[in-house]
Structure 1
Amino acid sequence: GRLSAQTSDTTQQLFHSDHWHIRSTAGPPHTAALAKQLELTRFIWRQVFGGFVLTPVELSRRIVGQARPRPTSLFKVVLLANREEYIDSLQPLEPDIGKTLGIYWTPTQTAWFFSSQDLDSRTVEHEATHQLFAESWPTSPLAGSKHGMWALEAAACYMESLQKTDFGFTVGGRQSGRVPAARERLLDDNFFLPLRQLSKLGRSALQNEPELPKIYSQLSGLADFFMNGEGGRYRNAFIEYLVQLYRGTAEQETLWKLCRRSPEELDTEYKRYLSSP
């Protein structure tokens, strides 16, 4: 999409792409690259998680040309010139900001990034996915705060597997994103957090887990399992679970009720999915 800009002061510029309002101190080339990645992420996200974006009735009406696009506001992003600016700006809000490469800050509905060689597409895809889920539909700001936070993070990790190919783009697959790491954690390290236990964790509890890096690997594996495992059998259930989490109506048991499986049965199927050649 197009990118327009206006200067707000001597160091900061305001940029607008088709769907994002970007406040930047990093200069036009870096901002344009970020805008391109954001727009691509949105384009793919709407296809991957179409069941979240549109209800079945809306989708049916659109197919026959009887529905209008739902009006939305521009998403807000801040791109800072370097890591120091990023930490200085966000430290008062998030004491552990130095551990991050990007963040979606829910209270202000703003995604924050900084320009550096460390800002790869996966960081943008992950944080933009949080933003797209939170703002493309009326959602609860408390989504995931009490339980189910794993699924919100898993969906964002799933979008990290976005890859360009000669024929277009792919998302997911056991060789993509962090899924190989999930397989390694499971098979080599014998690390696995049961779904029943994982589903109890809210935002703070999950982020304070001592094995958080390993858990994030598992979340990537779980996302791929629920989206693609068993021939995609649980995909609609997983997306509906996300809908209910973001609307604030989900319970700890919601996912396995939607899947019509016990959490222990889903654990077994997940392990089999990652273990198979």
Structure 2
Amino acid sequence: MPDHPLKPVLLALFVCTLITPLARADAWFEQREKLRTQRAEFIEQLQASRVERAEAANARIMEFLDLIDEKNWKIDERALWGMCAGVFRLDRNHVRDIPRRIDEITEDQAVSGREKPDRAFEAALKQARKDLTEPSYDLLRRAESVGEVQAAVELMREVLCFDPDHKAIRRALGQVKLSDKVMEKINRIDETTTTDNTLEKLLRFDADLYWVSKFEAERMKAGLIWNPDRGWMPAKHADRYDKGFVFSLRRKEWMSLADANSYHSRAGRDWEIRTEHLDVRGSTDLESISQVATQLEMMYDEIFYVYALFFAEGGKYDPLQLALGLVEHPPMKVWVYRDHAEYVNRADAVSWSGGIFRPSNGTCYFYGGPSETMFHEFTHQVLHVMTEKNDAPVWLTEAIAQYTETAVFHEDRMLFRGAAYYGHLPLDELFGLKDGNQWYRHVESDRPSAYAEAGSVATFCMQAQDGRFRADFIDYVRDAYRGKDRNRTVWDYLGLSYEEFRVAYHRWGKDRS
């Protein structure tokens, strides 16, 4: 019997159905390898260029100082210290004679009070800033293009030292510049002017001193300042707060702190504190609830800084906005109760828990003050609010929360120090915990801790080999949450085989212990 005339066509179609997915898979791995190479090459070039950029900046600033000296202009001292701070960020060894020259010039030529610098100085300053910022700004845009957002943020801070009013960056961040009148109203002080020590001047230079978010600007224009232990308070009444009094918005009167805490400890009279991204309420004392609001806002910023690539899907925000947490959404709701019994009762929580995030209403519930549990659950809340879905395996969801619950304060910033190496639960067993039922059955068993192993794995992916895997890991987290990982594994994203991943993980752990 002769072959059917369509047989060759059907065979070709059958072969194509086999080859096409394979070709797509190969293309995906090739793209990942290309991206890893681009990132590695960029970071290498960035590090190699630091000294060269510092040398060029030093020369340009000295040229500008010579011009100021020659023309005898009335000048803005802060602008000069910002330039010096920019070189200092690049390479401390290249600051050299700049501070001495600034001191020599500013003795007679620095403006004071509401006095304005000479227009000729401002024109020359504009050109000097352009020359100083262009190299770093070009690198910043390259960093964004390859997904090295943390490098982009560091370059942005470098640019803003040289030029705190950089239009493109401030526009991208959506920030508002405070007037001198508002600065005086809230007693916002430039700390570079409060010391004669050169090193302190450079360390204290704050490029963001005059620049804040729209939310902060509204409150500052109203004369309010943030106190980590009292929340928003009128700057003109700071001394009354220092003496132990607070103004109760609910009762519209001044009260002693003890009386206010007693009044607000009852259901229906809870404290309410609104921050840029949070709506924090509860019956705990004002100091604790204010500290919760302060630390969660700081943690919010750090989550966005570290995981900016995670939130970048769709191109809705500029990468710098994402990295600095300058995104708009309804405030995240957080309740903080005065003790565990009230927490269990009012939050309808299980008695063994210390905090909970409920995706059904997008709210976190805690008691007391800041804690690791609070940081853990708040991580779930931020990722849920920003993605509105989570298709990631449970081990990965918990790994991220375990990593971020290690938050610590360092130089007015919150950092994730990372979890300790665990290495007691086989990796294939951890990676097999994909849904909630599997996870909680394991947690309730006498097996080694899945929480500890997950945190350990996340720390390896974020910090091992000077962060070599970080960007690839965040790409994996992003795709897994959105259900776009197509059953590819974490080691696929990192460019490793499973065995290479396992060996590298345990070697990292042994070196770390």
Query: Does TM-score exceed 0.5, indicating one fold?
Result: yes
Aligned partner of 1:143 in structure 2 is: 391
Q: Are 1:77 and 2:310 an aligned pair?
A: no
Q: 1:99 to 1:239 in 2, by over 3 A?
A: same
Q: 1:72 to 1:155 in 2, by over 3 A?
A: same
Query: SS where residue 99 of structure 1 aligns?
Result: coil
Name whichever structure is richer in helix by fraction.
Answer: 2
Q: Do the aligned residues in 2 keep the contact of 1:195 with 1:263 (CA within 8 Å)?
A: no
CA displacement at 1:120 relative to structure 2:
4.3
CA displacement at 1:63 relative to structure 2:
5.6
Query: SS where residue 276 of structure 2 aligns?
Result: coil
Q: Are 1:222 and 2:457 an aligned pair?
A: yes
Q: CA offsets, 1:217-256, max 9 Å, x none? A: 1112111100011332321222122212322333543323
Counterparts of 1:212 and 1:243 in 2: how far apart (Å)? 29
Q: Are 1:106 and 2:354 an aligned pair?
A: no
Q: Are 1:20 and 2:275 an aligned pair?
A: no
Counterparts of 1:139 and 1:57 in 2: how far apart (Å)? 16
CA displacement at 1:265 relative to structure 2:
2.5
Q: Report matched runs for 1:84-163 at 5 Å.
A: 84-91=341-348, 97-115=350-368, 119-135=369-385, 137-140=386-389, 142-144=390-392, 148-163=393-408
Counterparts of 1:56 and 1:41 in 2: how far apart (Å)? 24
Counterparts of 1:159 and 1:201 in 2: how far apart (Å)? 20
Q: Do the aligned residues in 2 keep the contact of 1:134 with 1:246 (CA within 8 Å)?
A: no
Q: CA offsets, 1:69-117, max 9 Å, x none? A: 64211001111121111112344xx5xx2222111111111111011xx
Counterparts of 1:89 and 1:12 in 2: how far apart (Å)? 12
Q: CA offsets, 1:112-165, max 9 Å, x none? A: 1011xxx54322221111111111x2331x534xxx111111111111222223
1:192 corresponds to which letter in structure 2? L
CA displacement at 1:166 relative to structure 2:
4.5
Counterparts of 1:12 and 1:138 in 2: how far apart (Å)? 30
Q: Do the aligned residues in 2 keep the contact of 1:37 with 1:121 (CA within 8 Å)?
A: no
Where in structure 2 are there 5+ consecutive unaligned residues? 1-215, 217-225, 233-247, 251-263
1:155 corresponds to which letter in structure 2? I
Where in structure 1 are there 5+ consecutive unaligned residues? none
Aligned partner of 1:202 in structure 2 is: 435
Q: Do the aligned residues in 2 keep the contact of 1:24 with 1:78 (CA within 8 Å)?
A: yes
Q: Do the aligned residues in 1 keep the contact of 2:298 with 2:414 (CA within 8 Å)?
A: no
Q: Which has the larger radius of gyration?
A: 2
Which of 295, 308, 332 aligns to 1:37? It is 295
Query: SS where residue 387 of structure 2 aligns?
Result: coil
State the TM-score, normalized to the length of structure 1.
0.77
Counterparts of 1:139 and 1:215 in 2: how far apart (Å)? 25
CA displacement at 1:56 relative to structure 2:
9.4
Counterparts of 1:48 and 1:62 in 2: how far apart (Å)? 12
Counterparts of 2:501 and 2:402 in 1: how far apart (Å)? 19
Q: 1:225 to 1:78 in 2, by over 3 A?
A: same
Q: 1:34 to 1:170 in 2, by over 3 A?
A: closer
Aligned partner of 1:239 in structure 2 is: 474
Q: Report matched runs for 1:250-265 at 5 Å.
A: 250-265=485-500
Q: 1:251 to 1:107 in 2, by over 3 A?
A: farther
2:333 corresponds to which letter in structure 1? K
Q: How many residues align?
A: 248
Counterparts of 2:371 and 2:365 in 1: how far apart (Å)? 14
CA displacement at 1:262 relative to structure 2:
2.8
- Name which structure has the greater RCO, CA cutoff 8 Å, separation 6+: 1
Counterparts of 2:360 and 2:314 in 1: how far apart (Å)? 30
CA displacement at 1:204 relative to structure 2:
2.3
CA displacement at 1:28 relative to structure 2:
2.1
Alpha-carbon RMSD across the aligned residues, in angstroms, is: 2.9
Q: 1:243 to 1:62 in 2, by over 3 A?
A: closer
Counterparts of 2:430 and 2:407 in 1: how far apart (Å)? 29
Q: 1:27 to 1:254 in 2, by over 3 A?
A: same
CA displacement at 1:23 relative to structure 2:
2.2
Query: SS where residue 265 of structure 1 aligns?
Result: helix
Q: Report matched runs for 1:173-192 at 5 Å.
A: 173=418, 178-179=419-420, 182=422, 186=423, 191-192=424-425
Q: 1:88 to 1:24 in 2, by over 3 A?
A: same
Q: 1:13 to 1:58 in 2, by over 3 A?
A: closer
Q: 1:101 to 1:200 in 2, by over 3 A?
A: closer
Q: Do the aligned residues in 1 keep the contact of 2:288 with 2:370 (CA within 8 Å)?
A: no
Q: CA offsets, 1:49-76, max 9 Å, x none? A: 12113359567x5569xxxx64211001
